[in-house]
Each structure stands twice: as C-alpha cells, then as structure tokens.
Amino acid sequence: MATCNALYTPRDVQNMRVFNYWFLSAMVFFLVATFAIKRELVVPALGWTLTALSVGLLVMGVRAYIVFIRNADELLRKVQLEALALGFGAGMVFMLGWRLCERLGALKLDVSDPIIVMMLVFAVGQYIGIRRYCVKDDEQ
Amino acid sequence: MTNRLRVLRAENRWSQAEVADRLGVSRQTVNAIETGKYDPSLPLAFAIARLFALRIEDVFSPDGHH
C-alpha cells in the first residue's frame, strides 16, 4: 500500500482550507450572479454588486493560494508549481492552437473554454505529482 | 546528490514522520529526499544537518562522493 496524503503539513492543510473557503464562496457568488443576470432577475445595480462581490472573492481566493504556495512544504510547492506550469502551458497551447483551427472551420469556442482546459490539466498535474512522491507504508 | 539521511535516521531510531515533524516538513518530503527523488533546498539541507549535529557535507555530497 502507498500513502499519498502525507505531502501536506498541518500548516498546509490549514492554508488550503482557507483557500477552499474563499474559492467556494467565489464560485457560489459567481453562479448566483450568472444566473440572476442572465435571467434578468435583478436590477442592474444589484447585478453590478453581485459581480463585484464575485470578483472580490476570487481575488481573495488568489491571495489565499499565494499564501498557501509561499508557506507550503517545499516538495508540495514543487508539485504545485509544476502542475501550474502544465496547466498554464496547456491553456496557451489550446488557446493558440484552437484559434488556428477556428480559421480552418472548427467549432468556435467560448472565452471560458481555455480556462476549463487549464483547470483540468492543473488537476491532472497535481495528481501526477502527488502520485510520483507517494510513500510506501513499509517505509517508516 | 546523495545523502545519508536514511542511515542517520535509523541510527537515531526515528521514523520518517518524527524527522518530518522536527524539520517542519511533510513525511513525503523526508521520503523523497531519502530515496533520492528530491534534492532539498539549502535551508532544509542545513536544518537536516543541524538536526543530526553534523556538518552539511557529512550528510549530503555530490553523486559518487560518499
């Protein structure tokens, strides 16, 4: 058997928890704002307020992630930075590559599609990095 | 880079988790250093040497120099 969750120190768990709170709050506000504005359920002033709140919470999420990375266990930081590089690279390649494909007649994509690719590849990169440094249970 | 972390840890009868606690890093970091999958930063290398009351060159050395 191998243990793959021994990469987080208690401080990392705490910092990741703070990031998760900000990010989940931002996502909830983002979805509510998107739904309300799309369906015209709110007056413009409230729509702008919901948008500002979503952006503000996202900025706080980014700030919490930077704090997490800066204080992270150094191997965890390496895993995270490699996953970020993979995600960013995949997003760049996808964005530029698909732009050429569009000119050749491929389906036009939404502006948020490269972000989905970035996040998926970031998640896969994290998984690969964490698996690479799993500890066998007999290695005490 | 090679290191004597596993040997030093065994001599002190410490588990990887104990060493990780003393150094303020994760157990996977200690394991990755021992197995040569990861070379620690200079501050962590100094902290490891200090933990065993040794000089840094007594714990770490370039490949093939032990």
* Contact residues on chain B for A73, CB-CB shorter than 8 A: 25-26, 29
ipTM of the complex: 0.88
Burial of A100 (0-12, 13-18, 19+ CB in 10 A): exposed
pLDDT digits (tens, 9 = 90+) for A45-85: 998 999 999 999 999 999 999 999 999 999 999 999 999 99
pLDDT of residue A98: 92
| 8 A C-beta contact, residue A3 and residue A137 | yes
Residue-wise pLDDT tens digits, B13-47: 999 999 999 999 999 999 999 999 999 999 999 99
Q: Which two tokens stand for residue A40?
A: 């015209």
For the entire predicted model, the pTM comes to: 0.85
Which residue in the set B15, B25, B37 is minimally distant from A133, CB to CB? B37
Dihedral through CA A52, CA A58, CA A60, CA A61, nearest 10?
Answer: 170
Q: How far is A8 from chain B (nearest CA, A)?
A: 6
